[in-house]
């Protein structure tokens, strides 16, 4: 069979991802802080963008972000065809349509959620700084101090040594004996337990320092941590040949010890959440306010309008490209704000009982429910709701929080998985600590009290997701 080359002609449809369409999709994914940073960067890169200082309200279909939602549906940016856009005559546009007040308007500050200025005035003392400070006050032996500094460099934020002494000694060309002496020195520092290689050694350091004469406590830590975790006090008492009350007395003290000595020096700064949307109840209706704090009012610079007709061809093409980019940014921000508004508005319609009464009334909901309601693609809804937070009368929640799978009831409508988690948490909070509910008992209680049909493994999964221990580890003897 002979091979030959042929030319064929066929028609096909495909979506072309132009830079403008990519920008519109990208803006949907940004939260409030990221959007403000993106706009600031665009203003640096694009000289035709500038901030409008005049706060007087003006109407402009292109440049001003209008937060009023009209009955007409916006086109989904992911389903739009970029090839359908008409070319723009920038010289004529700036000559005929320019108005001095045109801008991408942003309203007044809704709320000031920033931390107070004094939180930024001092540097937090780290665990390593604290240990080095003690090292300088403890020894004048240069070799020992150098070895101790090596060990401190291998101590993690929880206060545990994360490297083997032999490895540290070999990599730094010092003897193992010197490293052991240095470790002993570091383990004598504050906080007690720092420099330990595991939990057992950490608790032993604290016990030997604070309760040197209590041999029962030391033996419990040294030999019976697994039984202690399972609360098998009878086995511990039998092995140590002491009474169970004596073991319980030692356990009470052990449970007060610090398993993570470095915790007070944790250097992680608190993460402040800036809501992207505020929902406020006015009368019987909910009002949606987009957080525009820190977003500059954008407009096309009037300077470039005045020079466009008088520049040479190369410069004119550059200015036109920047003007096109500026206008697309303003349009994309306009569309992003309206899309976020419409998504939140739809969430309120679907979850009205949650906003009125709380978490117990959260309904099962998926992305398709919102997508079908506002005529957009599910991927668009996913981008809008990712990494964005909403301030509601019930608290601050991520927009993703409102999307839950459904758990069947024996009778009645399905209930949201998040609601089931809260009911499990409530049952565990109200249990007898001496006889905590097992996962199977929780299944039975949910069926009897709430008509919720749920499997035991689902209860176990939800319990683990909430960081709740199993019943054997929640049991309290004293």
pLDDT tens-digit series, residues 290-303: 998 888 888 888 77
- CA 58, 62, 66, 71 dihedral sign is positive
Task: Read off the pLDDT of residues 437-470 as tens digits, 9 standing for 90 and up.
Answer: 999 999 999 988 888 888 999 999 999 999 998 8
Contact between 51 and 298 under an 8 Å Cβ cutoff? The reply is yes
The pLDDT, as a whole number, for residue 52 is 77
Confidence of residue 72 (pLDDT cuts 50, 70, 90): very low
The pLDDT, as a whole number, for residue 407 is 82
Confidence of residue 410 (pLDDT cuts 50, 70, 90): low
Strand ranges in 49-93 using DSSP code E only, listed in sequence order: 49-51
Query: Is 0.75 topped by the overall pTM?
Result: no
The pLDDT, as a whole number, for residue 75 is 52
Give me the domain span that covers residue 148. Answer: 127-265
The pLDDT, as a whole number, for residue 218 is 93
The pLDDT, as a whole number, for residue 159 is 93
Final residue of a structural domain among 230, 265, 300: 265
User: Counting beta carbons within 10 angstroms of the beta carbon of residue 141, is it exposed (0 to 12), middle (13 to 18) or buried (19 or more)?
Assistant: middle
Alpha-helical (H) ranges within 281-401 are: 302-307, 313-350, 352-357, 367-374, 378-385
**Same domain, yes or no, for 167 and 255?**
yes
Task: Read off the pLDDT of residues 251-266 as tens digits, 9 standing for 90 and up.
Answer: 999 999 999 999 988 7
Q: Give, in degrees to the nearest 5, the angle at Cα 102 between 96 and 106.
A: 160
Final residue of a structural domain among 265, 298, 313: 265
Q: What is the separation of C-alpha 307 from the centre of its chain, rounded to a whole number of angstroms?
A: 47
| pLDDT greater than 50 at residue 249 | yes
Tell me whether residue 271 is in a domain: no
Percent of the chain with pLDDT over 90: 44
- Minimal CA–CA distance to 139: which of 190, 186, 206, 179? 186
Chain-wide mean pLDDT for the chain?
A: 82
Task: Read off the pLDDT of residues 270-289 as tens digits, 9 standing for 90 and up.
Answer: 777 889 999 999 998 999 99
Residue length, the chain?
478
**Same domain, yes or no, for 301 and 223?**
no
Percent of the chain with pLDDT over 70: 81
CA-to-CA distance for 108 and 25, rounded, in angstroms?
Answer: 26
The pLDDT, as a whole number, for residue 147 is 93
CA-to-CA distance for 299 and 51, rounded, in angstroms?
Answer: 6
Final residue of a structural domain among 265, 299, 333: 265
Tell me whether residue 272 is in a domain: no
Residue that is written with structure tokens 């309200």 in the block? 57
CA-to-CA distance for 288 and 344, rounded, in angstroms?
Answer: 8
**Same domain, yes or no, for 85 and 147?**
no
């Amino acid at each position: 069979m002979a091979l030959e080359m042929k030319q064929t002609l066929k028609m096909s449809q495909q979506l072309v991802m132009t830079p403008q369409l990519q920008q519109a999709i990208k803006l949907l994914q940004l939260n409030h802080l990221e959007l403000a940073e993106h706009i600031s960067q665009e203003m640096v890169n694009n000289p035709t963008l500038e901030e409008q200082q005049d706060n007087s309200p003006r109407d402009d279909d292109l440049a001003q972000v209008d937060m009023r939602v009209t009955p007409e549906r916006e086109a989904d940016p992911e389903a739009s065809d970029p090839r359908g856009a008409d070319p723009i005559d920038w010289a004529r546009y700036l000559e005929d349509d320019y108005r001095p007040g045109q801008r991408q308007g942003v309203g007044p500050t809704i709320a000031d959620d920033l931390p107070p200025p004094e939180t930024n005035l001092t540097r937090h003392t780290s665990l390593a700084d604290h240990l080095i400070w003690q090292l300088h006050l403890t020894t004048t032996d240069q070799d020992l101090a150098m070895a101790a500094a090596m060990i401190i460099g291998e101590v993690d934020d929880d206060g545990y040594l994360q490297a083997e002494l032999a490895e540290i000694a070999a990599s730094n060309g010092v003897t193992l004996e010197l490293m052991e002496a240095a470790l002993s020195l570091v383990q004598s520092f504050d906080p007690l337990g720092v420099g330990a290689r595991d939990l057992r050694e950490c608790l032993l350091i604290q016990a030997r320092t604070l309760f040197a004469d209590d041999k029962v406590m030391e033996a419990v830590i040294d030999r019976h941590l697994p039984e202690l975790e399972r609360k098998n006090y009878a086995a511990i008492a039998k092995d140590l040949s002491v009474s169970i009350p004596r073991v319980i007395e030692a356990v009470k003290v052990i449970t007060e010890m610090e398993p993570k000595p470095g915790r007070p020096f944790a250097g992680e700064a608190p993460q402040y959440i800036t809501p992207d949307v505020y929902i406020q109840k006015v009368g019987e209706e909910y009002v949606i306010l987009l957080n525009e704090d820190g977003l500059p009012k954008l407009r096309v610079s009037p300077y470039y309008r005045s020079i466009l007709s008088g520049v040479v061809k190369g410069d004119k093409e550059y200015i036109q490209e920047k003007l096109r980019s500026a206008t697309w940014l303003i349009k994309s921000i306009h569309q992003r704000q309206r899309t976020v508004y419409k998504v939140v508005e739809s969430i309120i319609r679907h979850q009205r009982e949650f906003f009125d009464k709380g978490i117990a009334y959260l309904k099962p909901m998926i992305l398709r429910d919102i997508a079908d309601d506002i005529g957009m693609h599910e991927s668009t809804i996913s981008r809008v709701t990712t990494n964005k937070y909403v301030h509601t009368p019930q608290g601050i929640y991520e927009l993703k929080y409102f999307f839950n799978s459904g758990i069947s009831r024996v009778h009645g409508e399905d209930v949201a998985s998040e609601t089931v988690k809260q009911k499990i948490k409530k049952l565990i909070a109200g249990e007898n600590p001496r006889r905590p509910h097992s996962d199977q008992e929780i299944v039975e209680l949910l069926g009897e009290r709430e008509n919720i049909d749920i499997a035991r493994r689902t209860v176990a999964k939800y319990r683990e997701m909430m960081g709740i221990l199993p019943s054997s580890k929640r049991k309290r003897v004293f």
